[in-house]
Chains A and B, each alone.
Chain A
C-alpha cells in the first residue's frame, strides 16, 4: 500500500508484467517430486466437537480410558432397581464379555467364526451338568469354572483345526455347521429313546433336551453363594475389567501384533515367519474359553440352560456388537453391547420408543443433508406443514383428529396438536404405511431442493404412520425395525464401527 502512495515513477499505468525469471526463489519447481511426500504437515485435524472428543480420547492414558468405560457401570447398581440392573446392566456386561472373546477371533485374527456362540452354550451346559439339581452334582465354582474354561478351549482347538485349510467363507460354513450340530445335540441329549448310549454309563439325561437343563446352581466360591443380581453384576464387571486389561496388553504384545498382521495379510505374515496355524488355533482357543466362561455365568444367572438361547439369533447379536463397536477395538465392544442390548430394552415403552424414533429421524436428517440450513428448512417446513394439515383437518374432518396418542408423555401430548390421529386407524394407517414406502422410493429419485421439498410431506407421513400404526406394536416388530434403523444410521456415521479405526487400503 505504501509503495502505491509513495510517488513512484510511472504511476500513471501499471508496468507491463515481465516474465517471471525461471530461477525465481519462490517459484514451485516442476519435476522435482519429493521422494516422499510431507504427510505430517498436511494432515487435516478433524473439526468440531467429535474431532475434539476423539483427540482428547486418544491422548488419555489407557487406565483412564478403562475407568471412563467401566466407571458408569460401577455406579449403575446404586441408582437403579433390580429389574433394570438385570436387563440393562448384567445382560449387557455378559454380552460384552462374550463379544470380547469374539473380538479376538474375528477382530484380531480375522477368522470368520460363525460357531462362536456354541462355546457359550457349551459353557452353560457343562456348568449345568457339573452343578445343578438336574444332574444331581453340585461342584463348587472354583473347580467348575477352570474345568469349563479348559474344556471349551479344547473344543475351540478342535474347531480351530479346520481353519488350517479353510479360509473366509469356507471356514464360516464349517463353523456354522458346528453351531447347528451343537443345537441339535442339546435338543436331543435327554437320554430318550433315540439318544446315544454312552460307554460305561449307558443312556444319560445330559441336557434335558428341548425342555432345557434346569435348576442350575448359583455360583458357589469356597462356600460363598452368589445369589443376588447385584452379586452377579459385580462378579461379571470385575471379570470383564480384568479381561479388558489383559486384552489391552495382549494387543500390544508380539502375539497381538502377529494376530493383526495375520488378519491384514496372511501371506505377508507368513514370510515374516509368523507361525500362522498356531496363532489361528490360539485365537480360537482364547475365544472359546472366554465364551465358555461367560456361558457359565449366564447359566448360573438364569439357573438354567435352554437350547434356543444359543442359536443363530444370539450369534447375530454378538456379531452386531463387535462390528458396531469396531472390529478389533476393545473399548468398542462395551459400547456396542450397550447399544445393541440397551436400545431394544429401552424401546419396550412407547414413550421411550417415540423419543428414539424422532431422534433417529432428526439425526439422519442432519447427518445426511448438507449444507446445514437445508435440514433446518425441512424441519421447520415439516412442523408448519403438520400444523396446517391438523388445522384444516380439525375444521373439515373431525374424526381425523379425535384419536389419542399412545403412551402419552410431554412429547406425546404436544404431538396431539400436530399429527392426525383418526379414531378408527387400522385401514387408513395400513394404506399410509404403503404410501410411506412409495414416498421413500420416490425420494431416492429426486435431487437437490426437490428432494428437500418432497421430504416435508414424507416426514409428516412417517410420523403419521408411527403414531397410528407402529407405536402400537412397539414391543414386537416395531422395536426391531427401529433398532435396524438405528444401526443403519450409526454405521453410516462410523462405517468401521464406533471405536473402529478406518481402514487404510494399500494400493
Chain B
C-alpha cells in the first residue's frame, strides 16, 4: 500500500473540515476523490502533502508515518502535486519550471528531462518559452511535467479539469491515463465525476468532510445516488 489515511481529522482553526477521513491508494493505482464545493477535497490533498497538519489520525506513505513531516520530506519520499489552477511560475521558462520540479534532485538529470519530454513532446518544443505565455492546455502539460520531474511514486492532482474546455478535459484525462500507465499511482481530486470515474480504478466520494461512498469506479458510476448528485440524471 502506497498511501493510507486513517481516521484523519483536520481543522482550520476551530472549523472541523475533515471528519474521520480514511482512504487508500495502492501502488500503480488510479484513484479519484469526488466531491462538490466545500466538501473537503482540497483539504484532503493539503493534509496528504503536508501543507496542513491533521489534529488526529495518521497519514502513512510508503510504509512510513509522515503526518509530522514537512512537505519537502514527503516530496523526497515520492509524492508530487499538480496544484489547483496549475500554479506555474509564469515569468520563468518551461525548462526552468521543470527544473523547479526537480529541485530535490538538483534541477533534474538528463533522464528526468527525457522522460518528461517523451510524455509531452510539446514541452520540448516550448522549453524556452515563458510558462505564462502557454495556453491553458499547455500549462496543464507543463504542470504535470513539472510534478513528474521529482520522480514521484504518487501524483496528486487537484481539479485538473478546472478552467478547460470540455474537449480539453477529455484530452487531459487521456494524458492522466497515459502518465498512469507509465507506472505512477495517481490520486485525482475532481468535481467532474463522469470523466474521472471513466479512467479511475477506484473512487471515493467526499461530502462535508466525510467519505460517504467508495468502491470500484465501474460500480460507482452505476450508483443511483451518485448519478443523481453528480451527473444530474
Cα–Cα distance between A144 and B163 once the two chains are bound (Å): 58
B51 and A271 contacting across the interface, CB-CB below 8 Å: yes
Q: B172 CB to closest chain A CB, in angstroms? A: 9
Q: Which of B76, B85, B103, B146 contacts A258 (CB 8 A)?
A: B103
Q: B161 CB to closest chain A CB, in angstroms? A: 14
Residues of chain A in range 223-272 having any CB-CB distance to chain B below 8 Å: 254, 257-258, 260-261, 264-265, 267-272
A506 interfacial by beta-carbon distance below 8 Å: yes
Q: Chain A: interface residue count, which band?
A: 20 to 34
A272 and B88 contacting across the interface, CB-CB below 8 Å: no
Q: Which of A145-153, A485-493, A497-505 contacts B (4 or more CB under 8 A)?
A: A497-505
Interface residues of A (CB under 8 A from B): 33, 35-37, 39-40, 254, 257-258, 260-261, 264-265, 267-275, 501, 503-507
Tally of contact residues, B, Cβ under 8 A = 45
Q: Which of B31-39, B55-63, B128-136, B184-192 contacts A (4 or more CB under 8 A)?
A: B128-136
The answer to whether residues A265 and B89 also contact, given A36-B138, A271-B75, A273-B76 and a CB cut-off of 8 A, is: yes
B91 and A260 contacting across the interface, CB-CB below 8 Å: yes
Q: B71 CB to closest chain A CB, in angstroms? A: 6
Q: B4 CB to closest chain A CB, in angstroms? A: 21
Cα–Cα distance between A274 and B107 once the two chains are bound (Å): 11
A257 and B163 contacting across the interface, CB-CB below 8 Å: no
B27 interfacial by beta-carbon distance below 8 Å: no
B49 interfacial by beta-carbon distance below 8 Å: yes
Q: Which residue of B lies closest to A253 (CB)?
A: B107
Q: B33 CB to closest chain A CB, in angstroms? A: 18
The answer to whether residues A273 and B137 also contact, given A257-B99, A264-B89, A507-B163 and a CB cut-off of 8 A, is: no
Q: Which of B75, B83, B125, B133 contacts A267 (CB 8 A)?
A: B83
Q: Which of A275, A501, A507 contacts B72 (CB 8 A)?
A: A275
Cα–Cα distance between A504 and B76 once the two chains are bound (Å): 30
Contacts of B138 in A (CB 8 A): 36-37
Q: A272 CB to closest chain B CB, in angstroms? A: 5
A504 and B132 contacting across the interface, CB-CB below 8 Å: yes
Supply 16 A–B pairs (Cβ within 8 Å), ascending by A.
A33-B165, A36-B122, A254-B103, A254-B107, A258-B100, A264-B90, A267-B83, A269-B100, A271-B83, A273-B76, A274-B103, A501-B130, A503-B91, A504-B91, A506-B87, A507-B163
Cα–Cα distance between A106 and B181 once the two chains are bound (Å): 43
The answer to whether residues A506 and B49 also contact, given A264-B91, A272-B101, A275-B72 and a CB cut-off of 8 A, is: no
Contacts of B99 in A (CB 8 A): 254, 257
Q: Which of A254, A260, A273, A505 contacts B75 (CB 8 A)?
A: A273
Interface residues of B (CB under 8 A from A): 49, 51, 71-72, 75-76, 81, 83, 85-92, 96, 99-101, 103-104, 106-107, 122, 125-126, 129-139, 146, 150, 163, 165, 167-168, 171
Q: B138 CB to closest chain A CB, in angstroms? A: 5
B135 and A506 contacting across the interface, CB-CB below 8 Å: no
Contacts of A506 in B (CB 8 A): 85-88, 90, 131-132, 139
B51 and A270 contacting across the interface, CB-CB below 8 Å: yes
Cα–Cα distance between A35 and B75 once the two chains are bound (Å): 30
The answer to whether residues A270 and B71 also contact, given A35-B171, A254-B99, A504-B90 and a CB cut-off of 8 A, is: yes
Q: B113 CB to closest chain A CB, in angstroms? A: 15
B134 and A260 contacting across the interface, CB-CB below 8 Å: no
B90 and A503 contacting across the interface, CB-CB below 8 Å: yes
Contacts of B96 in A (CB 8 A): 257, 260
Contacts of A273 in B (CB 8 A): 71-72, 75-76, 103-104, 150
Cα–Cα distance between A264 and B88 once the two chains are bound (Å): 9
Cα–Cα distance between A269 and B75 once the two chains are bound (Å): 12
Contacts of B85 in A (CB 8 A): 506
Cα–Cα distance between A33 and B169 once the two chains are bound (Å): 13
Cα–Cα distance between A458 and B70 once the two chains are bound (Å): 64
Cα–Cα distance between A132 and B150 once the two chains are bound (Å): 54
Given contacts A40-B129, A272-B100, 13 further A-B contacts (CB under 8 A): A36-B137, A39-B129, A39-B133, A254-B103, A258-B103, A268-B87, A272-B150, A273-B75, A273-B103, A274-B103, A501-B130, A504-B91, A506-B131
Cα–Cα distance between A341 and B49 once the two chains are bound (Å): 49
Cα–Cα distance between A100 and B171 once the two chains are bound (Å): 46
The answer to whether residues A261 and B71 also contact, given A37-B135, A506-B86 and a CB cut-off of 8 A, is: no
The answer to whether residues A257 and B49 also contact, given A503-B90, A506-B132 and a CB cut-off of 8 A, is: no
Contacts of A260 in B (CB 8 A): 89, 91-92, 96
Contacts of A265 in B (CB 8 A): 87, 89
Cα–Cα distance between A244 and B122 once the two chains are bound (Å): 35
Contacts of B71 in A (CB 8 A): 270-271, 273
Contacts of A35 in B (CB 8 A): 137, 168, 171
Cα–Cα distance between A51 and B125 once the two chains are bound (Å): 24
Cα–Cα distance between A273 and B130 once the two chains are bound (Å): 22
Cα–Cα distance between A491 and B166 once the two chains are bound (Å): 42
Q: Which residue of B lies closest to A252 (CB)?
A: B96
Contacts of A507 in B (CB 8 A): 136, 163
Cα–Cα distance between A504 and B97 once the two chains are bound (Å): 14
Cα–Cα distance between A40 and B136 once the two chains are bound (Å): 16
Contacts of B146 in A (CB 8 A): 272
Q: Which residue of B lies closest to A274 (CB)?
A: B103
Contacts of B104 in A (CB 8 A): 273
Cα–Cα distance between A272 and B88 once the two chains are bound (Å): 11
Q: Which residue of A lies closest to B126 (CB)?
A: A39
The answer to whether residues A257 and B171 also contact, given A503-B91, A506-B139 and a CB cut-off of 8 A, is: no
Cα–Cα distance between A272 and B91 once the two chains are bound (Å): 17
The answer to whether residues A501 and B76 also contact, given A257-B99, A257-B107, A274-B100 and a CB cut-off of 8 A, is: no
Q: A267 CB to closest chain B CB, in angstroms? A: 7
B90 and A505 contacting across the interface, CB-CB below 8 Å: yes
Q: B30 CB to closest chain A CB, in angstroms? A: 21
Contacts of A254 in B (CB 8 A): 99, 103, 106-107
Contacts of A40 in B (CB 8 A): 125, 129
Contacts of B75 in A (CB 8 A): 271-273
The answer to whether residues A505 and B103 also contact, given A272-B146, A273-B71 and a CB cut-off of 8 A, is: no
Contacts of A267 in B (CB 8 A): 51, 83, 87
B134 and A39 contacting across the interface, CB-CB below 8 Å: yes
The answer to whether residues A33 and B90 also contact, given A257-B99, A273-B72, A505-B132 and a CB cut-off of 8 A, is: no
